[in-house]
Structure 1
Amino acid sequence: MADPAWTHRTAVVFIPPAEVWPPIQAIRHVHDRQVQRWMPHITLLYPFAPRHELPGLAPTLEAACAGLSPFEATLGTFQVFQHRADRSTVWLAPEPREAFVRLQAALQEAAPDYAHTSRFAGGFKPHLSVGQSGGTERVAELLASLSETWTPLVFQVSEVSIIAREGNGPFEVVRTLKLGASST
């Protein structure tokens, strides 16, 4: 049996409500080279299935989401992934972390061929990327600056989105999956 096909042109993500985007996007416009490609999001499954396979996967993902209750979340603190001595990613840590881990695990169980996001050391780490930075001294300055003026954002997590992009275009929502919703 062949390995399943996957692509970097689709993903399953949580997108915060639009009303909390302005402070996130203000940071991303300055620090995130991918601000035009991605909306603010927490990646749950990526890379994901080719676009033509999405209709077949959607019912299983929808059922997984229906079995989970919506929850309140907060983006309150900045953290960093240090990739190399001169390269890092700055991100907001969503809380409660455990609720996002449960959400990702349910989706991964529904689509086990797309487990890339949990293959990192320590497993799945929910995060909302806000930018890239250089070495440890530079990123420490950026973290201090961002943390000094940041006001935590609180919102409901009531849905996840399947997103896709064509060519080099930006990602767009192609389907929304409600948490706690019955399949219709």
Structure 2
Amino acid sequence: MNCGIAIFPSKEIQDFANSYRKRFDPNYNRIAPHLTLREPEAWSWNQLSSAADHLEQVTSTITPFDIHFNRFSSFYPAGNVIYLALSSPDPLLKAYKVICSGELAENSRPYHFNPHLTIGQELGDDELHDVLASLKKIELDLTSRIDRVHLLYQTDNQAWTVHQTFLFRGV
């Protein structure tokens, strides 16, 4: 089964993101707005169980933190993706290094980890540029407290659901 690890921001930010995702993201109805920490990968039940054990252990060392979205951005030309960008990705980068370590290390990741919340993807070049030009005019000031991470799996209808949630328990 396909599994992954993600963080969900506050309901306020999810609602804001969904106001765009329903128009610009074909995966809108498959998963709530999120920040991916570990890309989807096919795992056995044993790997899922092992990942849960790892997350239970490492989340005891992570202290809850705040994230702040301050702008719209894009991965163009690498990909036609529009996303909410963070003013400082450092807290998420630190959490990523702890969570995606040991058996959950992503040694073959084809790109540098860039925490973000996707609001549009699979757009044509012209549409991407038009939408992004409009969005860049909008001022963003959205903050969310992050105190947990979720181990997800993909269902038969291609939707993603939470298998287990792990609270950050560091001091």
Give the TM-score of the pair, scaled to structure 1.
0.81
Match for residue 142 of structure 1? 131
Question: After superposition, where does 1:120-159 map in structure 2 within 5 Å?
Answer: 120=111, 123-132=112-121, 133-135=123-125, 137-159=126-148
Q: Does the 8 Å contact 2:25/2:119 carry over to 1?
A: yes
CA drift at 1:30:
0.6
Matched, 1:91 2:83: yes
In structure 2, runs of 5+ residues without a counterpart are none
* Identity level (%): 22
What RMSD, in angstroms, separates the aligned Cα atoms of the two structures? 2.2
Instruction: From 52, 61, 70, give the equivalent of 2:55.
Output: 61
Q: Does the 8 Å contact 1:73/1:94 carry over to 2?
A: yes
Instruction: From 110, 130, 138, give the equivalent of 1:119.
Output: 110
Match for residue 178 of structure 1? 167
CA drift at 1:100:
1.0
Match for residue 3 of structure 1? none
Question: After superposition, where does 1:30-49 map in structure 2 within 5 Å?
Answer: 30-48=23-41
CA drift at 1:181:
5.2
Q: What residue identity is the alignment partner of 1:167?
A: D
User: Alignment partner of 2:163: what SS?
Assistant: strand
Match for residue 11 of structure 2? 18
Give the TM-score of the pair, scaled to structure 2.
0.86
In structure 1, runs of 5+ residues without a counterpart are 1-6
Q: Deviations over 1:71-100 (max 9, x none)?
A: 11112211111256xx61111112421111
User: Alignment partner of 1:139: what SS?
Assistant: helix
Number of residue equivalences: 169
Q: 1:21 to 1:15 in 2, by over 3 A?
A: same
1 CA distance for matches of 2:120 and 2:89? 20
Q: Does the 8 Å contact 1:73/1:155 carry over to 2?
A: yes
